[in-house]
Amino acid sequence: MLIVAENVEKIYGDPETGYHALEAINLEIRDGEFFCLLGASGCGKTTLLNMLAGFEPVSRGSLTLNGKPITGPDSSRIMFFQDANEALFPWLTVSENVEFGLRIKGIPAAQRREPAEHYLSMVGLSQHKNKLPSELSGGMRQRVQIARALVMDPEIVLMDEPFAALDALTRRKMNLELLRIWESTRKTVVLVTHDIPEAILLSDRIAIMSVGPKSHIVEIINVDMPRPRDPGSAVFGELYKTIESTLSRIE
Examine the pLDDT at 184 and tell me if it is beyond 70.
yes
106 and 137 belong to one structural domain: yes
Examine the pLDDT at 95 and tell me if it is beyond 90.
yes
What pLDDT is stored for residue 84 in this prediction?
Answer: 67
Please state the domain count of the chain. 2
CA distance 77 to 153: 9
88 and 208 belong to one structural domain: no
170 and 54 belong to one structural domain: yes
63 and 95 belong to one structural domain: no
Examine the pLDDT at 212 and tell me if it is beyond 80.
no
Report the SS3 class of residue 115. helix
Quick: pLDDT tens for 2-42.
899 999 999 998 888 889 999 999 999 999 999 999 988 77
pTM: 0.91
Q: Which of 127, 153, 179 is the last residue of a domain?
A: 153
Residue 199 corresponds to which amino acid? A
188 and 90 belong to one structural domain: no
**Residue-range definition of the domain harbouring residue 211:** 3-76+155-250
104 and 218 belong to one structural domain: no
245 and 163 belong to one structural domain: yes
189 and 167 belong to one structural domain: yes
In residues, how long is the chain? 251
In Å, what is the CA distance from 108 to each residue of 98, 99, 105, 203, 235? 14, 10, 9, 37, 50
What pLDDT is stored for residue 164 in this prediction?
Answer: 83
CA distance 157 to 183: 13
HSE (side-chain half, CA atoms, 13 Å) at 151: 31
159 and 194 belong to one structural domain: yes
Rounded to an integer, the average pLDDT of 124-149 is 91
99 and 57 belong to one structural domain: no
72 and 87 belong to one structural domain: no
Q: What CATH number should be reported for the domain holding residue 24?
A: 3.40.50.300
